[in-house]
Amino acid sequence: MIFSKIMDILEWMMHFAYLNMLFIVGILTGGVVLGFFPACYATISVSRRLVSEPGFGITKAFIDVYKQHFWKSLRMGYLFLLIILIAVSNVVFWRQLDHMLSWVWLFILLITMLSSMLLFPVTVANNLTFKEVGKLFFYSLSQLHLHIILTLGLIVIYMATLLMTGIFIFFAGSLSLAWVMFASQLFVRKIQKVSE
């Protein structure tokens, strides 16, 4: 009984270590600039599938999702990056003026980044118009409890990788994106409850 549980844990660790390596290869395949967002989405998609239906070809699934959603993940990823950069420019501008609004914009930047992380998997997986993405984005801004869950999970993963630096290369990307997937699934469930 205990031995089988240990074997299950080790198997999950191997899956996520392998997924992390695929994530890195996916980023490098696209030359970083073109590979980052497709690799992120493929990692999120495969980790979601690992949780729901283990026992499939991880490499084939990763490559299929990477190819199928390449351009869509780039569009959505860079759209969210543009929104974040606008918030960053406002933070920098108001900081130079040493104005109180710099703190407001810093808060907006943080919420925008977290909302983008929640929405990225949802928008790539579904064929949404920009208007629908905009509605979801503004709705996600009100979901502070999901932002807290997302932030705490990412902090725990970050601290764990700092404490055990050897595992950083094996787990940091895949575990962080799996946590984003978890928070994103909570967001999808929230949307489904509201729409019913």
- Tokens standing for residue 154: 């990412």
CA angle at 180 for the pair 26 and 161, rounded to the nearest 5°: 75
Q: Write out pLDDT tens, residues 75-106.
A: 889 988 998 898 888 888 888 887 777 788 88
As for how many domains the chain has, the answer is 1
pLDDT digits (tens, 9 = 90+) for 161-194: 888 877 777 888 888 888 998 899 889 888 888 8
> How deeply is 162 buried, as exposed, middle or buried, from its count of CB atoms within 10 A (0-12, 13-18, 19+)?
exposed
Q: What is the pLDDT of residue 130?
A: 78
Residue type, 76: M
pTM of the complete model:
0.81
Tell me the three-class secondary structure of 5-17, residue by residue: HHHHHHHHHHHHH
pLDDT value of residue 90:
83
Residue count of the chain:
196
Per-residue pLDDT, averaged over 21-25, amounts to: 93
Residue 116, token pair as written in the block: 């983008």
Question: What is the span of the domain harbouring residue 44?
Answer: 2-195
In eight-state DSSP terms, residue 165 is G
Distances (CA, A) of 63 to 22, 70, 71: 9, 10, 14
